[in-house]
Amino acid sequence: MSNTSRAQAGITLRLNQIQRDEEGFFVDAYDWQPDLIGDLAAEAELDMTPERREIINFIRGYFEERACVPEARAVLKHMKEIWGPEKATRRYLYQLFPRGYGQQACKIAGMVKPRKLMLDV
């Protein structure tokens, strides 16, 4: 088995120990731990850049304060505050998470699937 295969098997084993739904969203967002970011990002086939990590940390902080998943507009507002208006765009958010904010960022942040997935609108 190659090192890449071993690493992927380790990620799969570790993530299989967490209860998630058929789409990969956490069943209980409180099961998430910061040390899972790398494994969840690898599963999503994303390198965890500082910008992506900032978004993940914002999602978790928002969740901890309000017990709900932030909609994309809240993330865009946060992006504007820290990076300025030129990067606070849906286009840039999709550059960071090409499969969508809800489908990648929220999964990496350990969120439960929202009742209505209004996150990518």
CATH of the domain at 74: 1.10.10.370
Please check whether residue 113 lies inside any domain of the structure: no
The answer to whether residue 115 sits within a structural domain is no
Residue 52 covered by a domain? yes
Inter-residue contact 111 to 69 (CB < 8 Å): yes
Q: Per the domain annotation, does 116 fall within a domain?
A: no
- In this structure, is residue 13 part of a structural domain? yes
What's the confidence (pLDDT) of residue 114?
72
- Say if residue 66's pLDDT is above 60: yes
**Structural domain includes residue 90:** yes
Most confident of 11-15, 29-33, 111-115: 29-33
Q: pLDDT at residue 11 above 90?
A: no
Predicted model pTM: 0.83
User: Rounded to 5 degrees, what angle do the CA atoms 18, 109, 51 make?
Assistant: 145
Do the domain assignments include residue 119?
A: no
| Residue 69 · residue 59 · CB < 8 Å | yes
Number of domain units in the chain: 1
* Domain carrying residue 99: 3-108
